[in-house]
């Protein structure tokens, strides 16, 4: 982990949003208590990894639908300092997470997607070009959009663990 001595010591609450029509059709609108009974491995990884350092305030499962995604992210921003989505960042016609979330972001963190793809390239080579992972801030809060694969989620969670306090501190002018 990188030592950043100019990062404000703040408590951070995080929400997780899994985007998957198949899982949503199987489980419906579930919360964090029901997550452990599902096959949402990526959601479980995020809760486990990020829960070691941050409070997990909310979990949502939504279909690959722009309005449902946007609504879930906005709802989570009301109770969290950061929202991490998983799923729907690829290039298939049903992948609409980026299109749903992008208008919500006030300032993009292009470096997150660039570093994510660079590290992904080391693991999956040229398949990394298919990733549209991204991050940004809105009203002092962070939004991260990760792919749905468990391996990619672990990689993204590691980046978020290293940088989230720094991102929030800067977004709030606390640096």
8: confidence class by pLDDT, cuts 50, 70, 90: low
2: confidence class by pLDDT, cuts 50, 70, 90: very low
Work out the number of other CB atoms within 10 angstroms of the CB of residue 48. Answer: 12
The DSSP secondary-structure symbol of 129 reads: G
132: confidence class by pLDDT, cuts 50, 70, 90: very high
pLDDT digit string, tens, across residues 83-122: 999 999 999 999 999 999 999 999 999 999 999 999 999 9
pTM, two decimal places: 0.95
pLDDT digit string, tens, across residues 142-168: 999 999 999 999 999 999 999 999 999
Q: Which domains, ranges and CATH numbers included, belong to the chain? A: 13-171 (3.40.980.10)
> What pLDDT is stored for residue 4 in this prediction?
47
Contact predicate 34/77, CB 8 Å: no
Beta strands 134-138; 107-108: pairing state: antiparallel
6: confidence class by pLDDT, cuts 50, 70, 90: low
């Amino acid at each position: 982990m990188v030592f950043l001595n100019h990062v404000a010591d703040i408590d951070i609450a995080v929400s997780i949003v899994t985007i998957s029509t198949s899982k949503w059709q199987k489980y419906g609108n579930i919360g964090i208590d029901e997550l452990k009974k599902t096959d949402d491995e990526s959601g479980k990884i995020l809760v486990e990894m990020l829960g070691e350092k941050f409070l997990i305030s909310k979990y949502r499962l939504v279909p690959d639908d722009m309005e449902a995604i946007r609504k879930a992210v906005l709802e989570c921003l009301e109770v969290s300092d950061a929202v991490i989505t998983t799923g729907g960042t690829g290039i298939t016609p049903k992948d609409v997470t980026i299109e749903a979330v992008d208008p919500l972001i006030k300032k993009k963190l292009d470096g997150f997607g660039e570093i994510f793809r660079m590290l992904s390239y080391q693991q999956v080579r040229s398949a990394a070009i298919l990733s549209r992972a991204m991050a940004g801030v809105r009203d002092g809060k962070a939004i991260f959009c990760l792919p749905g694969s468990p391996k990619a989620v672990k990689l993204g969670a590691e980046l978020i663990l290293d940088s989230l306090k720094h991102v929030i501190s800067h977004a709030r002018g606390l640096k």
